A and B are shown apart, each in its own frame.
Chain A
Amino acid sequence: MVDKPKVAICWLGSCGGCDEAVVDLNEAILQVTSAIDIIFWPVALDFKYHHLDALKEGEIVLSIINGHIRNSEQEEVAKLLREKSQLVLSFGSCACFGGTPGMANFRTKEDIFNWVYRDAPTVVNPKGNYPQPKSQVNGKELTLPEFYEQVFALKQIIDVDYYLPGCPPPPDLIANAVSAVLEGKLPPKGSTLAPHKALCDTCRLNETKPNKISLKDIKRIHEVEASPDTCFLAQGILCMGIATRGGCGESCININMPCRGCFGPVEGVEDVGAKFVSALAAMLDVEDDEEMRQLIDKVDDLAGYTYRFPLPVSLLKKKR
C-alpha cells in the first residue's frame, strides 16, 4: 500500500455523472485500483476534508476534479486539493468550462435568488428569508458557503495541469488519461487529453454533408423526424459538431441527436459561440432582409444553444 501512488477524486458543483463515468470503467477500474490508492472520493467513500488537510504538500500524485465552482466551499476544496497534489486533472465539461450549470451566468445572482426564494410559484417564504453566509440561531452562529456572483471553471480558480472534457468523459479517454499518468507518458502541461479536431472529422454522417450548406429553413430536432443517415446541418437542424472537439465517440449522433457541444471548443478556439455564429451565418440562404429576419427569428435561444457548456470560459463570461 505504501508505494502505490495516491489519487483523489472529487466533485465540486457536479451532478455525479462524472463520478459515475469513473465507475463505468467496469472491470478496468479493478486494474486501476490495484495500481493506485484512492485516498479521497466523497461520492463513493467516506473520507473527510480533515483527511486531506493532514496530507503533506504534493503527497497526492493525481487529483481528478469534476464540477464547476460557484461557492466558497468548492473554492476551498479545490485549493486544498491543488496544494496537496502533484497533478490536477480537470475532469468533465463542468470543471473544464463551467458546463451546463455555467448557463446560469446569463442570470445575475440577484435574479437567481429572487426566483428561487421569492418568485417561483412553488415558493412559500413569508419571512422573505434568503440564505446568508452567517446567521445566529439560539445564540449560536451557523455558517453556509457563500454563493458567488457567477459560475467559474476550475482553471479560473486554481492552476490545472490537464483537461479531459465530456458530459461525462467517455471510458476510453478516462482509461487513457489514467494510464498516461501512471506510466508518466503525459503530453505538455495544459493539454487536453482528447483529439484536437472537430467532431465532424470522425462523424459517420460527414460524407453526407454537402460542400456548401444552404439553409432555407431551420428546424429543432423535436419538430421533425430526422433522417439517421444524413448530416443534421444538411437537414436544417443545428448541430454543434462543426465547432466542437471530437473524441466523445459521437454518442449523441449515434442515437440520432445533434451534437450539443459537451466537449467544448475545438483546439485553439476561444469563443465557441462567436465561431458558431460565423459558420451558421454562412449557411443561411436568404434573399432579402425580411427572409433573413424570419429565418433568424426561428432560432430559439441561440446563445443557450451555442454556449450550453462553455459560457463561463467564453470571452464575455457572464451577463453584463
Chain B
Amino acid sequence: MSGFEPKVVCFSCKFSWGYLADEASFSSKIKNWIPIICSGKVDAKHVVEAFNRGADGVLILGCPEGECHYQDGNYETKKRVRLLHKVLDSYGIEPERVRIELSLDPEGKRIPELVKSMSATIKKLGPVRQT
C-alpha cells in the first residue's frame, strides 16, 4: 500500500467552516473539497455517489450540535451517516470511511488537518476496491 494516496471527499458547511478563509487558496490545499450551504444538504445519495466515483472516504463538517443555521440540518445528517455506516458495511465499505465532525472553525485551519488525519486512517484500510 506504499504508493496509495486516499481520495477523501470533504463536504463542509459554510456557516461554521472556513467562511473567513480564501476559498481559492484553500481549494489548492484540499483536493475534493466541496463547501456547501448546510451539512444537512448532504444526502445519503451524495455519499454513495462519492464511493461510486472512486472516493476512499467521505468527511462531512457541520455546525456544532444545536447551532445549525437551519435548525437541525447537522443533526439530520448525523443520523444519515450512522445509518449509512450500516448500509455501506454490507458493501464492504468500512464505517471509518465516512466521518462527520460537528464543530466551529471560521478560518478553516483544521479542515486540511482533519482531511489528513482521515487519510491516515484510510491508508491503513487501503483503497476501496473498484469493481
Shortest distance from the beta carbon of A317 to any chain B beta carbon, whole Å: 7
Complex Cα spacing A316 to B82, Å? 18
The answer, yes or no, to whether B113 is at the interface (CB within 8 Å) is no
A302 and B87: CB pair below 8 A?
yes
Q: Given A277-B83, A292-B78 in contact, is the A106-B91 Cβ separation under 8 Å?
A: yes
Which of B89, B91, B92 has the most chain A CB atoms inside 10 A of its CB?
Answer: B91
Complex Cα spacing A306 to B84, Å? 12
Interface residues on A, range: 20 to 34
A277 and B87: CB pair below 8 A?
yes
> Would you call the interface of chain B mostly helix, strand, loop, or mixed?
helix
Q: Given A274-B44, A320-B129 in contact, is the A306-B87 Cβ separation under 8 Å?
A: yes
> Would you call the interface of chain A mostly helix, strand, loop, or mixed?
helix
- The A18-65 residues at the B interface (CB cut-off 8 A) are none
B87 and A303: CB pair below 8 A?
yes
Complex Cα spacing A281 to B73, Å? 11
- The B38-56 residues at the A interface (CB cut-off 8 A) are 43-45, 47-49, 51-52
Choose one: B48, B78, B79, B80; the contact of A316 (CB below 8 Å).
Answer: B48
Choose one: B51, B79, B91; the contact of A281 (CB below 8 Å).
Answer: B79
Shortest distance from the beta carbon of A237 to any chain B beta carbon, whole Å: 17
Interface residues on B, range: 20 to 34
Closest to A303 in B: B90
Q: Given A275-B44, A277-B80 in contact, is the A315-B52 Cβ separation under 8 Å?
A: yes
Per-position contact with A for B24-49: 1 when CB-CB < 8 Å, else 0? 00000000000000000001110111
B87 and A281: CB pair below 8 A?
no
Chain B residues near A275 (CB-CB < 8 A): 44-45
The answer, yes or no, to whether B76 is at the interface (CB within 8 Å) is yes
B48 and A303: CB pair below 8 A?
no
Complex Cα spacing A153 to B96, Å? 31
Complex Cα spacing A107 to B76, Å? 31
- The B78-111 residues at the A interface (CB cut-off 8 A) are 78-80, 82-84, 86-93
B84 and A277: CB pair below 8 A?
yes
Choose one: A150, A273, A292; the contact of B87 (CB below 8 Å).
Answer: A273
Chain B residues near A227 (CB-CB < 8 A): none
The answer, yes or no, to whether A252 is at the interface (CB within 8 Å) is no
Complex Cα spacing A273 to B93, Å? 15
A271 and B48: CB pair below 8 A?
yes
B44 and A281: CB pair below 8 A?
yes
Closest to B51 in A: A316
The answer, yes or no, to whether B71 is at the interface (CB within 8 Å) is no
Complex Cα spacing A293 to B83, Å? 9
Per-position contact with B for A244-266: 1 when CB-CB < 8 Å, else 0? 00000000000000000000000
The answer, yes or no, to whether A286 is at the interface (CB within 8 Å) is yes
The answer, yes or no, to whether B131 is at the interface (CB within 8 Å) is yes
23 sampled A-B residue pairs with Cβ under 8 A: A106-B90, A273-B44, A273-B48, A274-B43, A275-B44, A278-B43, A278-B80, A280-B83, A281-B80, A282-B79, A286-B79, A292-B78, A296-B79, A296-B86, A301-B90, A302-B90, A306-B87, A315-B52, A316-B52, A316-B93, A318-B91, A319-B91, A320-B92
Beyond A296-B82, A302-B87, A304-B90, 19 additional contacts (C-beta under 8 Å) are: A270-B45, A274-B43, A277-B84, A281-B76, A282-B79, A286-B79, A292-B78, A292-B82, A299-B83, A299-B86, A303-B91, A306-B87, A315-B48, A316-B48, A316-B51, A317-B131, A318-B91, A320-B92, A320-B131
